[in-house]
Amino acid sequence: MSNHTSYPMMSRIEGQTLVLERVFNAPRSLVYQAFSEAEHLKNWWGPRGWGLTVCDLDFRVGGFWHYCMKCLDKNQGDFYGMESWGKSEYKDIVHDERIVQTDWFSDEEGNIAEGMPGSLITTIFEDYEGKTKLISRGEYQSAEELQKVMDMGMLQGVTETWDRLSELLESLK
């Protein structure tokens, strides 16, 4: 019998670092898989109404993830059809425990977008009362850079993205 309790995302800012935490009702290995396999990422990455139309993943230290989120929901008005490209480089990977990556906005060719904030993201997967606690630490160049992404609606986007992850994990258990 699965427990459909939804856990809230907790967030706090520590200087130029955004710390996000949430408990997922799934084993750590499954939550890690959702972050490390393209077939899973395609099913949850991005806010509601957005889909990954490109998901090129080379999941290894030194490898890159280049992706495109596209708004597929006509009810989102001006956002419908909009694309947001991103690129990450994996710096450190400890299976089922930690993923460290640099993350940037990019263009279709994978060129890093000038003038847009980039971050160093450390994602930690911890066993927690038979579930998994996910901790994401996004470190920006400055508090101003962090504020820029917050002003772009990043917290709402991540909240919806992690809601979608929770729903995927429930369906995979």
pLDDT digits (tens, 9 = 90+) for 140-160: 999 999 999 999 999 999 999
| pLDDT of res. 7 | 85
Q: What is the pLDDT of residues 58-79, one digit of tens each?
A: 999 999 999 999 999 999 999 9
Q: In what order do the strands lie in the sheet with 10-14?
A: 10-14, 17-24, 131-140, 119-128, 98-105, 83-94, 64-71, 50-57
CA distance readout (Å), 63 to 15, 86, 121: 29, 14, 15
1 pLDDT tier (thresholds 50, 70, 90) = very low
173 pLDDT tier (thresholds 50, 70, 90) = confident
Mean pLDDT of the chain: 94
Rounded Cα gap, residues 67 and 52, in angstroms: 7
Rounded Cα gap, residues 114 and 40, in angstroms: 30
The stretch 122-138 carries a mean pLDDT of 97
User: pTM of this prediction?
Assistant: 0.92
Structural domains in the chain, sorted by start: 10-46+93-172 (3.30.530.20)
